[in-house]
Structure 1
Amino acid sequence: MSVTKLVTSRTILGAVENGVLDLDQPLPQLPGVTELRSVSVADLLAHRSGLDHEKREFTRTPHTRRVYSNSGYEILGELLAQRSGVPFATWVAEMLFSHLGIKRKMRGSPAWGMHGSLRELLAFAFEAACPRFLSLELFAAWSRSDGIQLPGVLPGYGFHRDNAWGLGCEIRAAKDPHWTLPDSSPDTYGHFGQSGSFLWIDPAIRLGAVFLGQERFGALHKQLWPELNRALREVGKNAQRA
């Protein structure tokens, strides 16, 4: 599900690095959106465009609130395909998956359509922690807060005055409640999905974790994830000491 957005955003930033897309230039027309407003690729990546969660219409003025938007990520996939003449799934395979030894193809929505195994999610997690296929500048933009303090709702965890986001990753910052551990560093980044899966990296302790779920996200995940993450972190710390 939405852990897919990490893959999509890394692919989009790879296209930016190759000069196919521009991060900050206003887009004259978004695919499937009738109203013209000044938004950029960066706005879409960081959920600050004002687009609705699912519909291709603006529900907020851009840059005033962080509206978590599947439609924005689907538009990003279409934009890249239009600009390059190459299907988005091919970009994912050649820009990212082929380098990570992942033979799977992305099928379905760039916002939530990725399927894969735990081994494949781990391969991506290592790249998410220690980038080899993206410049350090763009990796920082992906994995750190964009510095724009916007209010918004984190799905499943409610309203936050600073719903911090990078150009792809959700940033823990001061959010409480949150799906990572309460004492995770504010710089912790990653994503969770409605499939009950997650990926997080805490750069302060140089540890991360992934979980591949089989049950739709709900109250039980919110109850059990703190203890699961605590156990995963302890395993990681023990491995570091060994």
Structure 2
Amino acid sequence: MSMETALEKVGQWPVDKHAAAVITAKGTTSVGDVDRVFELASVTKLLSAYGVLMAVEEGALEFDEPLGPEGSTVRHLLAHASGVAFDSRENPKPVGERRIYSSAGYEWLAEKVAQEADMSFAEYLRLGVFEPLGMTDTQLWGSAGHEARSSVADLTKFAAELLDPKLLAPSTARKAMTVQFPGLRGIVPGYGMQKPNDWGLGFEIRGEKSPHWTGTTMPAETVGHFGMAGTYLWVVPSRSVAMIALSDRDFGDWAKPLWAETNDAVWSELQQ
């Protein structure tokens, strides 16, 4: 099987529109309409997290400054460890006790960056991340947690930045892909309780999670995110490889076996 054949598995998904790409040091292999713009859903969090990391480097924020419910920090919010609920600013659990996946936490972060930068968070991302990377199809149009849209062509540029950071210090990018608040358990949407549910600063970390959307054979260091719009992006930093897949069908039971099979096939080809 070639990488082209492995990627063609995306075309076999029960979706109307799709596009995907694998990025390696040797170049990019893609399928589908890479210029088509798709809703990203929670893959948005990777873009938003990168903006928050940039704000930290610029001195607008600090990782350990208070933000969110009492006792919470910027770091807690980025790592889904603040106790804040998924879609509200209520905190059903104490800070640092459980990994509660939260879009509301990212909206809190975006508001703080906007306040400090004296511009909307969408504009901050456009000027700080999208324009420098040439991501002309990408837009944050709503919630910093789940309302951006982009194309595979644009996300290929973002993935290249994740593999070889130019907008951030490499040490900051590494920190974002390192487990924060180790040992916390929590639910990965669609995949149930994970013990532990490892997460970095915006980046989900595969760790030993099972079942998982990245498949059964990918390494523990794999980081990324999936979105309920039928989208995902993953990176394996030590191998300098990444994959993006976008579709127009919402995540559901159809996706679980097919995403895993696709990722395992791609990973197998990357070992050749």
TM-score scaled by structure 1? 0.91
Alignment-mate amino acid for residue 166 of structure 2:
R
Please say if 1:181 is aligned against 2:221. Answer: no
Query: 1: distance between equivalents of 2:175 and 2:269?
Result: 29
Residue 24 of structure 1 corresponds to: 64
User: Which aligned segments of 4 or more residues in structure 1 are displaced greater than 3 angstroms?
Assistant: 234-238
Give the number of equivalent residue pairs: 231
Equivalent pair of 2:218/2:264 in contact (CA under 8 Å): no
Give CA-to-partner distance per residue, 1:31-71, whole Å, 9 cap, x none.
Answer: xxxxx511111100000000011011111000000000010
The 5-angstrom pairing of residues 60-99 of structure 1 reads: 60-99=93-132
Deviates more, 1:59-68 or 1:219-228: 219-228
Partner SS for 1:64: coil
Residue 159 of structure 1: CA displacement?
0.4
Residue 176 of structure 2 corresponds to: 142
Residue 206 of structure 1: CA displacement?
3.1
Give CA-to-partner distance per residue, 1:114-134, whole Å, 9 cap, x none.
Answer: 111111121111112221111
Residue 155 of structure 1 corresponds to: 189
Residue 231 of structure 2 corresponds to: 197
Residue 188 of structure 1: CA displacement?
0.6
Residue 227 of structure 1: CA displacement?
1.7
Give CA-to-partner distance per residue, 1:103-152, whole Å, 9 cap, x none.
Answer: 24321110011111111121111112221111122111111212521010
Q: 1:6 aligns with which of 46, 57, 64?
A: 46
Query: 1: distance between equivalents of 2:197 and 2:261?
Result: 24
Please say if 1:212 is aligned against 2:246. Answer: yes
Query: 2: distance between equivalents of 1:148 and 1:19?
Result: 26
Query: 1: distance between equivalents of 2:57 and 2:66?
Result: 17
Equivalent pair of 1:144/1:189 in contact (CA under 8 Å): no
Equivalent pair of 1:163/1:175 in contact (CA under 8 Å): yes
Partner SS for 2:140: coil
Alignment-mate amino acid for residue 100 of structure 1:
L
Query: 1: distance between equivalents of 2:117 and 2:44?
Result: 21
> How many percent identity over aligned positions?
37
- Whose relative contact order is higher, 1 or 2, with alpha carbons under 8 Å and at least 6 apart? 2
Structure 2: unaligned runs, 5 residues or longer: 1-40
TM-score scaled by structure 2? 0.81
Structure 1: unaligned runs, 5 residues or longer: 31-35
Equivalent pair of 1:141/1:167 in contact (CA under 8 Å): yes
Residue 181 of structure 1: CA displacement?
2.3
Please say if 1:101 is aligned against 2:134. Answer: yes
Residue 235 of structure 1: CA displacement?
4.8
Give CA-to-partner distance per residue, 1:141-177, whole Å, 9 cap, x none.
Answer: 1112125210100111110111000011000011111
Equivalent pair of 1:157/1:177 in contact (CA under 8 Å): yes
Partner SS for 1:209: strand
Query: 1: distance between equivalents of 2:98 and 2:91?
Result: 12
Query: 2: distance between equivalents of 1:37 and 1:146?
Result: 19
The 5-angstrom pairing of residues 160-175 of structure 1 reads: 160-175=194-209
Partner SS for 2:113: helix
Residue 232 of structure 1 corresponds to: 266
Give 1 or 2: higher strand fraction: 2
Deviates more, 1:95-104 or 1:161-170: 95-104
Query: 2: distance between equivalents of 1:229 and 1:167?
Result: 23
Alignment-mate amino acid for residue 74 of structure 2:
V
Partner SS for 1:123: helix
Residue 203 of structure 1: CA displacement?
2.8
